[in-house]
Structure 1
Amino acid sequence: MEITGLGWLGTRTRHASELADFYGNVLGLPLTHQEEGFWVFELPEGRNVEVFADDHRGKGHFDTGPVAGFAVQDLPAAVAELRAAGVELLGEPGPTWQHFRGPDGNVYELVTG
């Protein structure tokens, strides 16, 4: 598998609105999407940083802290490599991502990139 860069970062936190305010007003990241308990900010190269409220649906597996997404050119091949290596995959692959648990117990993901 060839990692091409950091492709995404997401944080699920009970301090989501404070973190979103920090990303937007202190770090100066542009807000590109917002809905109840969910914010998306854009990095200069076009990648996303996302903030999820603790009770936001569908992100309960983000239980170890911020989740880093590693960009890969061929997501299906990279997922197959994880599977072959016996890595614990979390859920089914999305159209552009696959979450997995690293050997340190933390959640990570692969993203199309």
Structure 2
Amino acid sequence: MEIIGLGWLGTRTKHASELAEFYGTVLGLPLTHHSPGFWVVDLPDGRNVEVFSDDYEGKEHFDTGPVAGFAVRDLPAAVAELRAKGVELLGEPGPTWQHFRGPDGNVYELVAVA
């Protein structure tokens, strides 16, 4: 597997609106999407950071803190490699991502990039 960089970062927190405001006001990152309990801010390189409220459905497995997404060019091959090495995969792969649990108990992901 070839990790080519950090491809995504997500956080599920009870302070989601404050964190999203901090990203925009303090860090100067533009808010590009907002829906109830979910915010997306863009990074200068075109990747993004997502913030989820603690009651946002579908991200309950984000229970250990921020989730770092490692960028890979070949997601299916990278997922197959994790599976072959006995890594705990969380849910089914999305169209461009796969969550997994590291040996430290934290949640991480692989994210496909072009």
What TM-score range do you get, normalising by the shorter chain? over 0.9
Unaligned runs of 5+ in 2: none
C-alpha distance in structure 2 between counterparts of 1:33 and 1:94, whole Å? 19
C-alpha distance in structure 2 between counterparts of 1:60 and 1:66, whole Å? 13
Runs of 4+ in 1 over 2 A off after TM superposition: none
C-alpha distance in structure 2 between counterparts of 1:39 and 1:52, whole Å? 7
> Share of identical aligned residues, percent?
84
How far apart are residue 54 of structure 1 and its match? 0.2
Please report the RMSD computed on the Cα atoms of aligned residues, expressed in angstroms.
0.3
Unaligned runs of 5+ in 1: none
Give the count of matched residue pairs: 113
Q: Counterpart of 1:17?
A: 17
C-alpha distance in structure 2 between counterparts of 1:22 and 1:60, whole Å? 23
Q: Which amino acid aligns with 2:108?
A: Y
C-alpha distance in structure 2 between counterparts of 1:20 and 1:77, whole Å? 34
Normalising by structure 1, we get a TM-score of 0.99
Q: Which amino acid aligns with 2:98?
A: Q
Equivalent runs, 1:1-113 vs 2, <5 Å: 1-113=1-113
C-alpha distance in structure 2 between counterparts of 1:31 and 1:109, whole Å? 22
